Amino acid sequence: MKPKILIVEDEEAILKGLCDVFVYNGYEVDSAINGKDGLDKSLTGNYHLIILDIMLPEVDGLTICNEIRKKDRSQPIIMLTAKGDEDDIIKGLKMGADDYIPKPFSIKELLARVEAVLRRSPKIINESEKITWGHFDIDTQNLTLTMDSKTIELTRREVDILSYLIKYHNRPISRNELLKEVWGYNNPGMDTRTVDIHMAKLRKKIEKDPQKPSLITTVRGEGYKIEPMHR
């Protein structure tokens, strides 16, 4: 089965070029040239991945991303951002995008990012597991975490991060290791805010004080570590 991708981009030349590249590389491609059509297709179609420009007419990419996440917390999304626009990058990741790539970008890098995200796509793989860690009960299929009788909704990426930290709880996990093993990047040494922003979002959901985390701690110079918990 060919992976099906939706590309939402308002620059016609870029959109056509991206469609041609992905079709040539074996993908089934759908597209939208404005935010309204992109939102409609995003919410009604069945895509393995959505590539979403932030700056769009009618409905911007951040709004589309937010609407997608209200409906589907597991839909893989890559945002296209203006180079160096830190605010848009942070907003996009906080809205629930799996990753971002700044313009201008190389086709080789974009293809690598897409392949990495698709390796973890729930539409490609079928994982169903319950994980218990102290007073956490994580449902990897329904993307929920139950803690002290409270149910918290997570994204697919947040579940993957927690699952990996728990699996290797006896040692700190570096950003590069998370990029390689959770995001699936072959070249994890890239300059990206992705891990830090996802971790901040996750801490905000599960920590009593996200500014002083006690569940997922930072080990200086080494990475992140999940701490032992007891019921």
For 231, the token pair is 């019921």
Confidence (pLDDT) at 124: 38
Q: Per the domain annotation, does 59 fall within a domain?
A: yes
Q: What's the CATH number where 95 sits?
A: 3.40.50.2300
Q: Per the domain annotation, does 32 fall within a domain?
A: yes
**In whole angstroms, what is the distance from residue 178 CA to residue 87 CA?**
23
Confidence (pLDDT) at 231: 52
**In whole angstroms, what is the distance from residue 164 CA to residue 182 CA?**
7
Give the distance between the most distant pair of CA atoms in the chain: 57
CB hemisphere CA count around 38 (13 angstroms): 33
Q: Per the domain annotation, does 231 fall within a domain?
A: no
Q: 85 and 158, same structural domain?
A: no
Instruction: Check: CB of residue 8 under 8 Å from CB of residue 67.
Output: no
User: Domain boundary at 119, 152, 182, which?
Assistant: 119
Q: 115 and 134, same structural domain?
A: no
Structural domain including 75 reads 4-119
- Per-residue pLDDT tens, the chain, 231 aa: give them: 789 999 999 999 999 999 999 999 999 999 999 999 999 999 998 999 999 999 999 999 999 999 999 999 889 999 998 766 778 888 888 888 998 888 888 898 899 889 888 876 554 344 557 888 888 899 988 899 998 889 999 988 999 999 999 999 999 999 999 988 888 887 656 667 889 899 999 999 999 998 999 999 999 989 999 998 755
Q: Per the domain annotation, does 97 fall within a domain?
A: yes
Q: Per the domain annotation, does 125 fall within a domain?
A: no
Q: Into how many domains does the chain fold? A: 2
Nearest to 142 by CA among 154, 150, 132: 154
Q: 140 and 113, same structural domain?
A: no
Confidence (pLDDT) at 230: 58
pTM: 0.80
Please name the amino acid found at residue 226.
I
Q: Per the domain annotation, does 192 fall within a domain?
A: yes
Q: Per the domain annotation, does 87 fall within a domain?
A: yes
User: Domain boundary at 119, 150, 165, which?
Assistant: 119
Confidence (pLDDT) at 125: 42
Q: 158 and 58, same structural domain?
A: no
Q: Per the domain annotation, does 187 fall within a domain?
A: yes
Q: 138 and 100, same structural domain?
A: no
Q: 179 and 73, same structural domain?
A: no
Q: What's the CATH number where 216 sits?
A: 1.10.10.10
Confidence (pLDDT) at 34: 95
